[in-house]
Amino acid sequence: MTKNQLQVVLAQIDPIVGDVAGNTRKVIVATEQARKLHAADLVVFPELCLTGYPPEDLLLRPGLIKRVNKSLQTLCQQVDDITIIVGHPLGEVGKELFNAASVISKHQITAQYLKHKLPNYGVFDEKRYFIEGREATIIEINQIKIGLTICEDIWFVEPAAQAVDAGAEIIVNLNASPFKQDKTQLRETEVSKRARENSVPVLYVNQMGGQDELVFDGASFAVNAIGEKCVQAVQFATALVPINISKTPQGIQLEGSLQPLMGELETIYQALVCGLRDYVEKNRFPGVVIGLSGGIDSALTLALAVDALGADRVQAVMMPSRFTAQISLDDAAEMASILGVQYRVLGIENLFQTFLHELEEVFAGTQADTTEENIQARCRGVLLMAISNKTGAMVLSTGNKSEMAVGYSTLYGDMAGGFSPLKDVYKTLVYKLADYRNSLSKAIPERIITRPPSAELSADQLDQDSLPAYEVLDAILEAYVANDGCFEDLVASGFNAETVAQVIKMVDRSEYKRRQAPPGIRITGRAFGRDRRYPITSGYTVTSTIE
Among 84, 112, 114, 88, CA closest to 11? 84
CA-based nearest residue to 469, from 507, 495, 435: 495
For residue 286, give the 3-state DSSP assignment. coil
* 392 known member of a binding site: no
- Secondary element (H or E) of residue 203: strand 202-206
Q: Which of 418, 368, 412, 428 shows the shortest CA–CA distance to 393?
A: 418
Confirm or deny that 294 is annotated as ligand binding.
yes
Residue 494 known to bind ligand: no
Report the C-alpha gap between 249 and 537 in whole angstroms. Answer: 66
Other C-beta atoms closer than 10 Å to the C-beta of 341 total: 23
Contacts of 208 (CB under 8 A, 6+ apart): 12, 13, 14, 216, 217, 218, 235, 236, 237, 238, 274
47 included as an active-site residue: yes
**Taking a C-beta distance cutoff of 8 angstroms, is the pair 160, 202 a contact?**
yes
For residue 295, say whether it is annotated as part of any ligand binding site.
yes
Q: Phi and psi for 238 in degrees, rounded to 5?
A: -70, 150
Alpha helices in 283-400 (DSSP H): 296-309, 326-339, 349-358, 360-363, 370-391
Q: How far apart are the first and last CA of the chain?
A: 71
Query: Is 297 marked within a binding site?
Result: yes
Render 143-169 in DSSP notation, one character per residue: TEEEEEEEGGGGGSHHHHHHHHHTT-S
Q: Is position 292 annotated in a ligand binding site?
A: yes
The DSSP call for residue 141 is E
**434: which residues sit within 8 A by CB, 6+ positions away?**
296, 299, 300, 303, 444, 448, 449
Task: Report CA dihedral (505, 506, 512, 513) to the nearest 10 degrees.
Answer: 180
Give long-range contacts, CB 8 A cutoff, 24+ apart: 388-394. 388/289, 388/418, 391/286, 391/287, 391/289, 391/315, 392/285, 392/286, 392/287, 393/285, 393/286, 393/287, 393/288, 393/289, 393/313, 393/315, 394/280, 394/283, 394/285, 394/287, 394/288, 394/289, 394/418, 394/419
Chain centroid to CA 424: 10
Which distant-in-sequence residues (6+ apart) come within 8 Å of 186 by Cβ? Answer: none
Tell me the C-alpha distance between 153 and 93, whole Å. Answer: 23
The reply to whether 121 sits in an annotated binding site is yes
Of 26, 47, 126, 152, catalytic: 47
- Catalytic residue, from 26, 115, 117, 423: name it: 115
Residue 283: closest CA among 392, 425, 400: 392
Environment class of residue 86 by beta-carbon count within 10 Å: exposed (0-12), middle (13-18) or buried (19+)? buried
- Determine if residue 466 is labeled as part of a ligand binding site: no
Catalytic-role residue among 49, 151, 274, 379:
151
| 66 is annotated as contributing to ligand binding | no
What are residue 150's DSSP bridge partners? Answer: 174
Q: Is 282 annotated as a binding residue?
A: no
d(CA 457, CA 414): 12
Tally: H helices and E strands in the chain: 17, 19
Task: Tell me if 291 is assigned to a ligand binding site.
Answer: yes
Catalytic residue ranges:
47, 115, 151
Give binding residues as ranges.
Answer: 121, 177, 183, 291-298, 374, 398, 403, 513
Which residues are annotated as part of the binding site for deamido-NAD(+)?
374, 403, 513
Binding-site residues for ATP, in ranges, read: 291-298, 398
Annotated binding-site residues for L-glutamine read: 121, 177, 183
